[in-house]
Amino acid sequence: MRETYLISLAVSQSIFFLLLPIWLRLTAYLHPVVIAVVWICVTALTAFLLSLWKKQVMMVPQKLFYACLILYTISLLILLFVRPDSGGNSYNLVPFDTISYYLSGQVSPIIAVYNLAANIGLFVPYGIYLKSRAASKRKTIAYSVSVIALVEISQLLTNRGSLDIDDLMLNVLGIFTGFAFYPIFSKAVYLKRN
């Protein structure tokens, strides 16, 4: 198992540093903490995929998983509320309007891909968390929509971003992706109760 961790670390860091020029371009639009968030995601995803491929289960203490999720949440809040161009005081209540804009080619492809993929992918861990806590689909929907709507409204009210129905839809999709993905996740990661 130790060999898997070392290989995972070497592969993930190689991927991260090979793509560093792309990650650095994101800092023109987002807080530099985006580099840390991307690093966490690349490292965790590589470890997960390698464990899954080698059919090995990583034993992760539940408290460590929760501590990492808290740090991850703080990083996301920084990304959401502290950015060079806040885009504040705007809102979109028309479903698929922002998504269509990103897919139209009017924006740099890296920004379009990052925005759409991040709005889904960055919320997958919360779906995994909710499923690990045995939350029902109904509770997951209620919790997800409520918390994400609160964040979207807070961005508008604090002038630190925009309220966007598409963000809400993509974020909830990310949570449900994590929720649905949990059975695969649990094949490679065991959250050990302390």
Q: What are φ and ψ of residue 122, in 5° steps?
A: -70, -15
The rounded mean pLDDT for the chain is: 89
Q: Band of the pLDDT at 81, cuts 50, 70, 90?
A: confident
**Residue 7: both structure tokens together:** 């290989």
Residue with tokens 């793509």: 19
Residue with tokens 């490292």: 43
Q: Band of the pLDDT at 66, cuts 50, 70, 90?
A: very high
Q: Band of the pLDDT at 22, cuts 50, 70, 90?
A: confident
Note the pLDDT of residue 87. Answer: 59
How do residues 39-64 score in pLDDT, each as one tens digit?
989 999 999 999 999 999 999 999 99
User: How many angstroms separate the CA atoms of 94 and 39, rounded?
Assistant: 33
Note the pLDDT of residue 153. Answer: 93
Note the pLDDT of residue 29. Answer: 74
Torsion of CA 16, 47, 62, 125, to 10 degrees: 60
Q: What is the 3-state secondary structure (H, E, C) of the chain?
A: CHHHHHHHHHHHHHHHHHCHHHHHHHCCCCCCHHHHHHHHHHHHHHHHHHHHHCCCCEEEEHHHHHHHHHHHHHHHHHHHHCCCCCCCCEEECCCCHHHHHHHCCCCCHHHHHHHHHHHHHCCHHHHHHHHHCCCCHHHHHHHHHHHHHHHHHHHHHCCCCEEEHHHHHHHHHHHHHHHHHHHHHHHHEEEECC
Beta bridge partners of 71: none
User: How many angstroms separate the CA atoms of 52 and 188, rounded?
Assistant: 5
